[in-house]
Amino acid sequence: MSLPSVIRIAVIFGFMLFCLTSTAPAQQLPDGPGKAALLKVCGPCHGAENVIGQSKTREEWGQVVGEMVSYGAQGSEDELNQIVDYLAKNFSKKPAPKEH
């Protein structure tokens, strides 16, 4: 089995595990535009713990959302954009401190 196949199987297994074990309540997510879309599109498989504590750039969140769509997440383009905006606003990487 090639390395890309092993990685793909591991990602799919991880995704399925998250779908089966996610139980965190939605109230842990900050309120704001895009939260409803996140709960609608991502909530059937993921709980809040999948994003709480993570820090990604807007581009990285876009890649994650795109990957989830490839695994079957369904939402309109507007909903997916709202989700990326919401995640980037509430769970983004902090800028590196400036060196003096």
Is residue 97, in this structure, part of any structural domain at all?
no
Is residue 95, in this structure, part of any structural domain at all?
no
Task: Look at the alpha carbons of 61, 26, 37, 8 in this order and tell me if their dihedral is positive or negative.
Answer: positive
Cβ(61)–Cβ(35) below 8 Å? no
Q: Output the pLDDT for position 46.
A: 86
Is residue 100, in this structure, part of any structural domain at all?
no
Is residue 28, in this structure, part of any structural domain at all?
yes
Q: Which of 19-23, 42-46, 57-61, 78-82 has the lowest mean pLDDT?
A: 19-23
* CATH number for the domain that contains residue 82: 1.10.760.10
Strands (E), 1-100: none
Cβ(55)–Cβ(13) below 8 Å? no
Number of domains the chain contains:
1
Q: pLDDT by residue (tens digit) across 83-100?
A: 999 999 999 987 666 676
**Domain containing residue 66:** 3-90
Query: In sequence order, what are the residues at sequence separation of 6 or more whose Cβ sits closer than 8 angstroms to the Cβ of residue 44?
Result: 19
> Which of 60, 56, 65 lies closest to 91 in space, CA to CA?
56
Dist CA 2 CA 17 (whole Å):
23
Is residue 62, in this structure, part of any structural domain at all?
yes
